[in-house]
Amino acid sequence: MLRRLPGNQWNQRYGINTTMTLKDSDGDVYLFRRRLIQTPWAAIYLHDIEKGDEQPEMHSHPFPFASLILRGGYAEDTARPVCALHQGPITRVAHLAGDWNVFPRGTVKIHTIVAVLPGTRTLVFAGRRRDSWGWFVEGRGLVHWKTFLLEQNREPHGRRIPGGAA
Give the type of residue at 156: P
In a domain, 90, yes or no: yes
Domain span at residue 56?
A: 15-151
pLDDT at residue number 157:
56
Residues 6+ apart with CB under 8 A from 58: 77, 78, 79, 87, 110, 111, 112, 135, 136
The residues pairing with 22 across neighbouring beta strands, listed in sequence order, are 31
User: For residue 59, how far is the Cα from the chain centroid?
Assistant: 8
- What pLDDT shows up at residue 82? 85
Q: Which amino acid is at 23?
A: K
User: Domain tally for the chain?
Assistant: 1
CA 106 to the chain's CA centroid: 12
> Is residue 158 situated within a structural domain?
no
User: Is 1 domain-assigned?
Assistant: no
Question: What's the confidence (pLDDT) of residue 164?
Answer: 39
Indicate whether 159 belongs to any domain: no
Report d(CA 29, CA 47) in Å as an integer. 12
Q: Is residue 5 a part of any domain in this protein?
A: no
Q: What is the pLDDT of residue 161?
A: 40
Q: How confident is the model at residue 52, as a pLDDT?
A: 94
Q: What is the CATH number of the domain that holds 107?
A: 2.60.120.10
pLDDT in tens, the chain (166 residues): 444 444 444 556 788 898 888 888 888 889 999 999 999 899 999 999 999 998 888 999 888 999 999 999 999 999 998 888 888 999 999 999 999 999 988 778 899 999 999 999 999 999 998 888 888 998 998 898 889 888 887 766 544 443 334 4
Instruction: Identify whether 156 is part of a domain.
Output: no
